[in-house]
Amino acid sequence: DGNFSGSLPLAGGYIASSMGGNLVLVDLRRAKEAILFERYRMMLSNESSVTQKLMFPELLVFSTDDVALLREQADDITAFGVEYVVRDDNNVEVTGIPADFSVEDVQTLLYDMIDALREETLPLVERRERLASIMAKDGARRTPKSYTEGEINAILEALSDGGRYNY
């Protein structure tokens, strides 16, 4: 049987569950990161990012170098659902964010993406995989203690649906 049954929260963001009569320990943060990474990779291969349009655009301030990089790498960043308009050498207006993120998270996400793009000169596929990894890590940043029972069940369901997950 490939489905989890029951779950018991443990310290450190782990849960204990059973699958096919076996005890399984799941690190919720890593599980969520792996699930998000696979989702972002699939999104890229299907060219189907999901963007939440912001009713009130978010104005963010960056260094001149960061804004230049945002201009240069706009195709890579918008492929993940981040939509923005460069207003001048230091201001970027974010008009849409990935569906898995909140407005409060978008500046950190953009800084992390900028850091990765600045540090690495990779071919397109590897560069986008690196950005998918950053998005997954940032998307799973919230502490597992604050996960609702519904979120825990969704993680377990995604794990049992397949993929390349180790738990």
Q: What is the pLDDT of residues 9-58, one digit of tens each?
A: 888 889 999 888 889 899 999 999 999 999 898 888 887 888 999 999 99
User: Given strand 91-98, what is the order of strands in its sheet?
Assistant: 51-61, 91-98, 83-86
Please report, for residues 4, 32, 97, 103, 150, the alpha-carbon distance to residue 100 in angstroms, rounded to integers and kept in the order given: 24, 11, 8, 10, 16
pLDDT band at 162 (very low <50, low <70, confident <90, very high): low
3-state secondary structure of 105: helix
Contacts of 36 (CB under 8 A, 6+ apart): 100, 135, 136, 139, 140
| Closest to 100 measured CA to CA, from 66, 44, 139, 45 | 139
Give CA–CA dist 136/133, Å, rounded: 5
Supply the pTM of this predicted model.
Answer: 0.82
